Amino acid sequence: MEDRINHLEGKLCFAEDLLDELNRTVYRQQAQIDQLQAQIRLLYQQMQGSSAGSAEKRDLREEIPPHY
């Protein structure tokens, strides 16, 4: 009976360690998602600012480098 309890306690410790590691992983991923969303917002604002400043349409073919 005592061996069984020790085995279960060992499994519980392992599960707690695994849960802590998963929580840290999720926290890091959420921080990265937040950072990427901030970068996307900044790029969107830059695009809106540049498109508002130039009312003329751009021809993307003119922007192709000469070696194409």
17-26 pLDDT per residue, tens: 999 999 999 9
- Whether residue 41 lies inside any domain: the answer is no
- What's the confidence (pLDDT) of residue 27? 98
- Whether residue 1 lies inside any domain: the answer is yes
- Whether residue 50 lies inside any domain: the answer is no
- Whether residue 52 lies inside any domain: the answer is no
- Whether residue 61 lies inside any domain: the answer is no
Query: Which is higher by pLDDT, 65 or 24?
Result: 24
pLDDT, tens digit, 9 for 90 and up, residues 36-55: 999 999 999 999 988 765 55
Domain region containing 19: 1-29
- 67, exposed or middle or buried, with CB in 10 Å at 0-12, 13-18, 19+? exposed
C-alpha dihedral sign at 4, 5, 10, 16:
positive
Domain count, the chain: 1
Give the type of residue at 62. E
- Whether residue 24 lies inside any domain: the answer is yes
- Whether residue 39 lies inside any domain: the answer is no
